[in-house]
Amino acid sequence: MHGRTSELREKLRHAPEWVYLGPNKVGRGHPTYFIAEIGNNHNGDFYLAKRSIEEAAKAGAHAVKFQKRSVHDTFAKELRDKPQTKDEIKGKTYGEYREGLEFSFDDFIRLKEIADFNGVAFFATPFDLPSVDFLEKAGMPFYKIASFDVTNIPLLERVARTNKPIILSTGMATLEEVDEAVTTVLAHHANLIVLHCVSVYPSPDEHINLGAMRLLKRLYAPLPIGYSGHEQDILPTLMAIAHGATIVERHFTLSKLLPGPDHASVSIDPGSFKEMMDAAARIHVLYGKGEKELLEQERITRNKHAKSIVASIPIANGTVITETMLTCKSPGYGLRPRELSVVVGKRASHDIMADTVLRHEDIEWEPALSGVLPAREKNA
């Protein structure tokens, strides 16, 4: 059994069930919020980034997400100096490759303006402390914490101190580590969204484990819970939405044929992104209000095909009606079958032909028993 600290339980008790991401309310009962993670799929090319924002907006994304690293502060020298194996991209070392993917401050401002112009939110994932300062100056409205940094408490503390909403991915982390991360953020504010995520690139079906998302919903209620997918298609994402994901993040590419590690392996193109959003909108409609009700559109079919009490033989005026005189047949606008026991023993108010649907006026209702029948339904 997963144990919860009293501190976390208390903080969750006072947490909201929705979070504002810009003008959008994210949480149970609200439409799914979609993030197109452009990430590094711009390959360090400003105009590829610009086109990606524009196409994500056309596909219907609510937000576009980038990444920000100070390469020196994110990677130790021994990793920066390793040979670069993605030889179709720039740079001989891993550090040079990473540097080639970083945009300047002015680039970030221009990209944010392009996103604003296209009606999508622009935000980023910081991977180190200087990058948080960089992004704060650039005016990020909210932040994403990558699965890599669930255990990076200093980074979580720094981002939480901005008092801006945080989206937390939980790939490659234990529940105890997620607990610590959630507790760290909630110590500063409760504008937190937790994402189920599997950090396998790409994620095969047997690892996606959508049941864990339902576990997160139970453990971290009432916080909004979402899904960050690394599969190659959209079916698992749609299943996550059907299971209540309030927010979805998917890697976004203009083409799976572009060079780079994420384009073909975990990203979806504009056509697939729009297909996913359209299907999600339909899922939202399919769930409806969650209440059982008799629709007006159903009444026509009900009145035609539901059963009513029907005279099985001719019944003369004043005759005491017995059970053998009655049967149940369609249509359904007469006295209902559950009223059989009430009708038996009453007298016919006039001659009733055989195979006739019995109505309220066909029966002599004794004054003392006038309240026995249930209230008549509209159009019954």
Helix (H) or strand (E) holding 351: none
Q: Cβ distance 183 to 8 under 8 Å?
A: yes
Question: What separation in angstroms does the CA of 365 have from each of 272, 292, 343?
Answer: 65, 33, 9
How many CB atoms lie under 10 A from the CB of residue 320? 12
CATH 3.20.20.70 in the chain is located at 7-287
Q: Cβ distance 204 to 175 under 8 Å?
A: no
How many CB atoms lie under 10 A from the CB of residue 349? 14
CATH 3.90.1210.10 in the chain is located at 298-369
- Predicted confidence at residue 87, as pLDDT, reads 55
How many CB atoms lie under 10 A from the CB of residue 76? 9
- Predicted confidence at residue 352, as pLDDT, reads 96
CATH 3.40.1210.10 fits 298-369, yes or no: no
Which residue has 């001659």 as its token pair? 351
For the chain, the 3-state helix, strand and coil shares in percent, each to the nearest 5, are 40, 20, 45
CATH 3.20.20.70 fits 7-287, yes or no: yes
Q: Cβ distance 272 to 285 under 8 Å?
A: no
Residue ranges of the chain with per-residue pLDDT less than 50: 1, 368-380
What is the Cα–Cα distance from 235 to 356, expressed in whole angstroms? 53
What is the Cα–Cα distance from 135 to 133, expressed in whole angstroms? 6
